Amino acid sequence: MGNDIILFGLAGVIASGAPIVIAVIGETITERAGVINLSLNGVILLSAMAGFWVAVESDSLFLGFLAGMIVGALVATIVAFSSITLKQSQVAVGFILAITCRDLAYFLGNPIMGAQGPIMLSTSIPFLRDIPILGRLFFQQSLMTYISIIMIVVAWFWIFKTRPGLMLQGIGEKPAAAYVRGANVHKMRYLYTIVGGALVGLAGPLYTLSVKPGWKGTITGLDGIGWIVLAITIFGGWNPVRAAFGAYLFAFLQWLGLVLQPYMTSIPSQVLQVAPFPLMILTLLFVNMGNTEWMDRLIASLPDKLRVRVSKLIRSMQSRQPGGLGIPFDRQ
């Protein structure tokens, strides 16, 4: 295998990771505000179908992406309304929407199955594209891939560096304290749920218009991505940079599965393609173990000096979820 092929493959990882990156950032923003939007798997399928449909009809990529975002925002609004306003279980509503939107996508997408639609081409950036290795990796991509990379930085900057971003952290962490500091907790939770949903909705058309062009119904191969995005959000510790790393890791493992297939003929290709999933669980296990009681007890039983070191190590690995995640907020 030549270097060129590897480089080509890795550039492909950056591209095929783009929709996951965008969706993970969307969910990260939503959960940072304290709301779990579990509907992702359905939303990605529905927006993928809707975006493709609109793009086919209008022959406009832009309108396709816009349609996807609108779908995502609408579904997120339902989640927000039933969980924030009606105080129903976020998990239940999200799950129902995940299933319903998936079926809706397959149903509505039936007429456009196999249709020819516009495809987003790569736009290489002059000068930068000629940088050895990096140019091939990062600067001969499609516009949306560039946007996805920029988005990592923007989301990170927003959450950790800006004033509203700090308040966003506060709303998810301890809504009562945010309320005392003048935040309209419910309004903000609506807003960030909808914005996050719109980003997730952008991931759908990014598949059908670029990464895996076209709508092929149940064999489009997008079923399951939404669940992965949810797992990566946890893995990412609600930090866009770490989450993006998780997304690329996932895309890389999938690519590796494809590459290694010819060398491992005894293992069916379908198995290699799902190889990232158990790895995901293992990492979740790793990330969460520090929160368990037996681990606490184990650490407590260690001698003093070792205890401090071990607990520091575990603390740096584990991801701490926002304190108010999934908990409805009531004044007083």
Partner 1 sequence: MNVEFKNINKHFGPVHANVDINLCINSGSIYGILGENGAGKSTLMKVLSGFMQPDSGEILLDGKVVTIDSPADAINYGIGMLHQDPLDFPPMRLIENFIVGQKGGLVPSYKNTIKQFQELQKKFGFSLDPDAYVDTLTVGERQQLEILRLLWMGANALILDEPTTGISSLQKEKLFAALRILANQGKTIIFVSHKLEDVEALCSKVAILRKGILVGELAAPFNSDKLVEMMFGKIISLGERYNLSQEKIVLALNDLYIEQYPLRIENVNFQLRAGEVIGLAGMEGSGQDILLRACVGLIRPISGKVIVKDIDLSNKTYHTYMDNGVSFLPASRLEEGLVPGLNLAEHFTIAGDEKKGLFIDKEYFKEKAEKMIEEYHIIGRPDLNVESLSGGNQQRAALSLLKDSLSIILLEHPTRGLDIESAIYMWGKLKERCQQGTSIFFISGDLEEILQYSDRILVFFSGRVSPPLEASTTTLDQLGQLIGGKGWDQVFDIKEKS
Partner 2 sequence: MNKTRTRSSSVLFQLGGLVFSLLFVSLILILVKSQPLEAFRLIWEGATGNATRISSVFVVWVPLVLVTCGLLATFTAGLWNIGIEGQITVGAIFTTGAIRLFLGSSLSPVLVIIISILVGMIGGAVWAALAGVLKTFGGVNEIFGGLGLNFIATALNIGLIFGAWSRPGVASMSGTEPFPEQFWLPTFQDFRVSLWSIAFAIIGLVIIYFLLQGTHFGLRLKAVGKGMKSAFRMGIPTWQHMMLSFIICGLFAGLAGALQVTAVYHRLIPAISSGYGFMGLMIAMLINYQAIWLAPIALFFAALNIGGIQLPIVLKLDSSLTGVLQGSLVLFVMISQGIKQKFLGKK
- When CB distances are held under 5 to 8 angstroms depending on the partner's kind, the choice from partner 2, partner 1, none that residue 176 binds is partner 1
Q: Which amino acid is located at 168 in the chain?
A: L
Q: What's the rounded Cα separation, in Å, for the pair 80 and 37?
A: 8
**Single residue of 178, 195, 232, 280 touching partner 1 by CB under 8 A:** 178
Binding to partner 1 by residue 180, rule CB under 8 A?
Answer: yes
Binding to partner 1 by residue 177, rule CB under 8 A?
Answer: yes
- Report residue 280 as tokens: 């995901």
Q: In the bound complex, what is the minimum distance in angstroms from residue 239's beta carbon to partner 2?
A: 18
Q: Which is nearer to partner 1, 145 or 319 (CB)?
A: 319
Q: Which amino acid is located at 14 in the chain?
A: I
Binding to partner 1 by residue 309, rule CB under 8 A?
Answer: no
Q: What's the rounded Cα separation, in Å, for the pair 18 and 144?
A: 8
User: What is the contact surface with partner 2 in residues (CB under 8 A)?
Assistant: 38, 78, 81-82, 85-88, 91-93, 95-97, 99-100, 102-104, 106-111, 217, 224, 227, 230-231, 234, 266-268, 270-271, 273-275, 277-278, 280-281, 284-285, 288-292, 294-295
Q: In the bound complex, what is the minimum distance in angstroms from residue 32's beta carbon to partner 2?
A: 17
Q: Which is nearer to partner 1, 65 or 179 (CB)?
A: 179
Q: Which is nearer to partner 2, 162 or 218 (CB)?
A: 218
**Single residue of 166, 256, 275, 325 touching partner 1 by CB under 8 A:** 166
Q: What's the rounded Cα separation, in Å, for the pair 58 and 3?
A: 40
- When CB distances are held under 5 to 8 angstroms depending on the partner's kind, the choice from partner 1, partner 2, none that residue 18 binds is none
Q: Which is nearer to partner 1, 7 or 166 (CB)?
A: 166
- When CB distances are held under 5 to 8 angstroms depending on the partner's kind, the choice from partner 1, partner 2, none that residue 258 binds is none
- When CB distances are held under 5 to 8 angstroms depending on the partner's kind, the choice from partner 1, partner 2, none that residue 167 binds is partner 1
> Which stretches of the chain are DSSP H helices?
3-32, 40-58, 61-80, 90-108, 134-138, 143-161, 163-173, 175-180, 185-206, 225-235, 240-260, 269-274, 276-288, 293-300, 304-317
Length of the chain (residues): 332
* Burial annotation 18-37 (CB, 10 A radius, 16+ → b, else e): bbbbbbbbbbbbbbbbbbbb
Provide the Cα torsion 48, 51, 53, 58; round to 10°: -160
Q: In the bound complex, what is the minimum distance in angstroms from residue 93's beta carbon to partner 2?
A: 6
CB neighbour list of residue 92: distance below 8 Å, 6 or more residues apart = none
Q: In the bound complex, what is the minimum distance in angstroms from residue 177's beta carbon to partner 2?
A: 24
Assign 3-class secondary structure to 250-299.
Answer: HHHHHHHHHHHHHHCCCCCHHHHHHCHHHHHHHHHHHHHHHHCHHHHHHH
Q: Which is nearer to partner 1, 180 or 267 (CB)?
A: 180
- When CB distances are held under 5 to 8 angstroms depending on the partner's kind, the choice from partner 1, partner 2, none that residue 230 binds is partner 2
- Report residue 229 as tokens: 């995005």
Binding to partner 1 by residue 307, rule CB under 8 A?
Answer: no
User: Rounded to a whole number, what is the distance in angstroms from the first to the last CA of the chain?
Assistant: 64
**Single residue of 7, 147, 167, 191 touching partner 1 by CB under 8 A:** 167
Which residues are near partner 1 by CB under 8 A?
A: 161-164, 166-167, 169-170, 173-174, 176-183, 300, 320, 323, 331-332
